[in-house]
Structure 1
Amino acid sequence: MRLDKFLKVSRLIKRRTVANEACDAGRVSVNGQVAKASVKVKVGDIIEIQFGTKTVKVEVLDIRDTTKKDEAGDLFKYL
């Protein structure tokens, strides 16, 4: 699954266009590498997102095309 779509489906970022812009700005990294929106995400990857002064680090646990709001948290765990 593409990185920008995973960020939207997991609700780490609310909209796919915003996820795309964050990737283009270099604020998202996968496994320590700055990542473009088109990077393929797989189970076990570590994603870091910089929101201003705060950094969120998560591990991908599952990949689904769609999720309900209460199940979105099952796709990743905070590190």
Structure 2
Amino acid sequence: MRIDKYLWCVRYYKTRNIATEACKKGHITVNGQAAKASREVFATDKITLRKDQITYKLTVLDVPPNRVGAKLVDIYRKDETPAEAFEHLELLKLSKDYYRAKGTGRPTKKDRRDIDDFHYYDEDDNIDNNTETTNESEV
């Protein structure tokens, strides 16, 4: 089976075209050698692929007849990706989860709602204080 079809069958890529493009870009190696999309895959081959800033390491256990369900993927491959790779991805997600610097650009919708909530409470406090002072002066 072709490497692009195999990676599509075991659900590493959503379409064969995306898998083929990854091969063309050199993101996939088989047994340490860069693989073209037409490269044949056999049992015991070791595949390394780079996807979403993670380097996956797989061992082919068997070749599926066609695309398999997510629960059956482990029959056809053994995932040897180190856990540190996934932890590194989590750190990257957290580092990207920053907020824009204050004073740069227009307020977002969330900023506007926060500002409105803040002003709403301030106005209530002032109204309550004014009514109390007028009641005290009348007495």
Structure 1 length-normalised TM: 0.92
- Counterpart CA distance in 2 for 1:9 and 1:16 is 9
In structure 2, list runs of 5 or more residues that go unmatched.
81-139
Matched, 1:74 2:72: no
Greater relative CO (CA pairs within 8 A, separation 6+): 1
Q: CA RMSD in A?
A: 1.1
Please identify which structure carries the higher helix content. Answer: 2
1:1-79 pair list within 5 angstroms: 1-66=1-66, 67-79=68-80
Larger Rg: 2
- Counterpart CA distance in 1 for 2:51 and 2:78 is 17
- Counterpart CA distance in 1 for 2:27 and 2:21 is 9
Question: Which aligned runs of 4 or more in structure 1 are off by greater than 4 angstroms?
Answer: none
- Counterpart CA distance in 1 for 2:10 and 2:29 is 16
In structure 1, list runs of 5 or more residues that go unmatched.
none
Aligned length, in residue pairs: 79
Please identify which structure carries the higher strand content. Answer: 1
- Counterpart CA distance in 2 for 1:19 and 1:5 is 8
Structure 2 length-normalised TM: 0.54
